[in-house]
Amino acid sequence: MSDRIGARFAQTAREGRAALVTFVTAGDPDHETSLEILRALPGAGADVIELGMPFTDPMADGPAIQAAGLRALAGGETLVKTLDLVRAFREQDQATPLVLMGYYNPIYVHGVQRFLQEAKEAGADGLIVVDLPPEEDEELCLPALEAGLAFIRLATPTTDDARLPMVLKNTAGFVYYVSIAGITGAATPDFTVVAEAVARLKRHTTLPVAVGFGVKTPEHAAAIAAGADGVVVGSALVDAVRSSLDGQGRATEKTVAAVTDLVAALAAGVRRARAAA
């Protein structure tokens, strides 16, 4: 299995800070601009990249990421093109961990073994597939681990101590803690409650714990980073893309910078958190 994820979290731990995990949607607002954004993320301060695989029925995503997926699909983005993005990203960056995030249906249609082989060959490090519970591990999780891809599981505020061992059993890379119940980008988390939840998770696993959903500002990122191993930001970055587009929904000269400027501010927030601790 690729050790890029583990190496990056080990590096940020040595630096005494949390990792900034950034989510963008493949093909949003178009394939070429999406690749520009992807390539610019590490230089702006992203430690780990989650690349969303657009899907027509993204039930766990809020309006911002749903809209990004629709923009990408309308622009012709496909699962094959998303893997092409990973391949093109790897031509210039061999160090930054990249995780594919999405839903099982497109993977199933593509063919599980074919997808896993192509994702690994393209340079992906892991998968987050939000609609496959641990009871379905034989469908994708175990084959992914066998193919050398980390399968990153989500834990939520409703994941109790009885359920947690099953959730963590085959999880690899890191644990993604969903800080609020519901869809992405919907509300601001209660940072005290999140800190307690992260501490509870750490009693059950040695994997890094990254926290996402509802993290929109450098201040939010700093608050989460004070206790978590990673801070995940998605909807705010996708909103930055949307706000940069022209009246026809096309990329402008401001689009890439809209994302990287916010990533730089978030990265500064993450680094400030431990410095202030």
Per-residue pLDDT of 231-245, as tens digits, reads: 999 999 999 999 999
C-alpha 222/C-alpha 274 separation (Å) is 8
Greater confidence, 148 or 277?
148
Containing 209, the helix (H) or strand (E) segment is strand 209-212
% of the chain residues with pLDDT over 70: 95
Q: What are phi and psi of 62, to 5 degrees?
A: -80, 180
Given a cut of 60, is residue 54 above it in pLDDT?
Answer: yes
Closest Cα partner for 72 from 37, 105, 22, 97? 37
Is residue 58 very low, low, confident or very high in pLDDT (cuts 50, 70, 90)? Answer: confident
Q: Is the dihedral of CA 61, 58, 25, 112 positive or negative?
A: positive
Q: Is 184 exposed, middle or buried (0-12, 13-18, 19+ CB in 10 A)?
A: buried
Per mean pLDDT, which range of 9-23, 99-113, 126-140, 179-193 is the poorest? 179-193
C-alpha 209/C-alpha 138 separation (Å) is 24
Containing 250, the helix (H) or strand (E) segment is none
| Block residue for tokens 């000269």 | 253
Q: Please list the active-site residues.
A: 50, 61
- pLDDT at site 184: 54
Given a cut of 60, is residue 186 above it in pLDDT?
Answer: no
The answer to whether 16 and 60 are in contact (CB under 8 A) is no
C-alpha 230/C-alpha 228 separation (Å) is 5
The DSSP 8-state label assigned to residue 240 in this structure reads H
Per mean pLDDT, which range of 33-47, 54-68, 72-86, 131-145 is the poorest? 54-68
Strands (DSSP E) contained in 53-188 are: 98-102, 126-129, 150-151, 154-155, 175-178
Whole-model pTM: value is 0.95
Is residue 258 very low, low, confident or very high in pLDDT (cuts 50, 70, 90)? Answer: very high
Is residue 1 very low, low, confident or very high in pLDDT (cuts 50, 70, 90)? Answer: very low
Given a cut of 80, is residue 38 above it in pLDDT?
Answer: yes
Q: What distance lies between CA 39 and its chain's CA centroid?
A: 15
- pLDDT at site 277: 52
Given a cut of 60, is residue 134 above it in pLDDT?
Answer: yes
Segment of 49-63, 72-86, 211-225 carrying the highest mean pLDDT: 72-86
The total number of structural domains in the chain stands at 1
- Give per-residue pLDDT as tens, 84-110: 999 999 999 999 999 999 999 999 999
Domain extent for 114: 4-276
Supply the Cα-derived Rg of the chain in whole angstroms. Answer: 17
Closest Cα partner for 73 from 46, 106, 36? 106
The answer to whether 102 and 53 are in contact (CB under 8 A) is yes
Provide the terminal-to-terminal Cα distance of the chain, rounded to the nearest Å: 34
What number of residues does the chain have?
277
CATH value at residue 225: 3.20.20.70
